């Protein structure tokens, strides 16, 4: 059975974030890093070469495939800041309506710049997602 391509590793999170060339994206990434560390109580870790993740949960599909993945995380992509909101977007529709300028896709929340969104609503979305994932997957720490 194939392993998840995105694996946690011992890469240097701060060196990675400081290497982001887009100044605003780099600054926004540092804000999101602090927010996610505070919400999860977990340190930032590199997942793959370009994702900063926080905490883990174990998944198991009916097919038998299983593995570990981050509770939440983000990636400072060229087009936007991509936040990984696990557990589905349908539970966050009312919050998304109050968030400000954003796009969604699969488990991703795309934000061009943090100045476009309400940071308190963003904090709510991340907190709710992490609480849901911890409870749905019986993860210690909640």
CATH of domain 23-136: 3.90.1150
Q: Where are the domains of the chain?
A: 23-136
In the prediction, which pLDDT does 139 show? Answer: 54
- Angle at the Cα of 43 (from 109 to 91), degrees rounded to 5? 30
Q: Is the pLDDT of residue 82 over 80?
A: yes
- Mean pLDDT along residues 13-34: 97
Q: What is the pTM of this model?
A: 0.89
Percent of the chain exceeding pLDDT 90 equals 71
Higher-confidence position of 124 and 8:
124
How confident is the model at residue 141, as a pLDDT? 45
């Amino acid at each position: 059975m194939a392993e998840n391509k995105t694996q946690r590793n011992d890469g240097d999170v701060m060196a990675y974030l400081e290497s982001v060339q887009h100044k605003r994206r780099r600054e926004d990434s540092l804000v999101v890093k602090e927010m996610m560390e505070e919400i999860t109580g977990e340190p930032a870790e590199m997942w793959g070469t370009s994702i900063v993740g926080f905490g883990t949960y174990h998944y198991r599909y009916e097919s038998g495939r299983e593995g570990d993945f981050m509770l939440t995380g983000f990636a400072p992509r060229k087009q936007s800041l991509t936040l990984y909101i696990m557990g589905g977007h349908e539970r966050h529709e009312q919050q998304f309506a109050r968030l400000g300028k954003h796009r969604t896709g699969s488990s991703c929340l795309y934000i061009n710049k943090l100045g476009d969104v309400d940071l308190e609503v963003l904090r709510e979305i991340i907190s709710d997602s992490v609480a849901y994932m911890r409870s749905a997957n019986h993860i210690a720490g909640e």
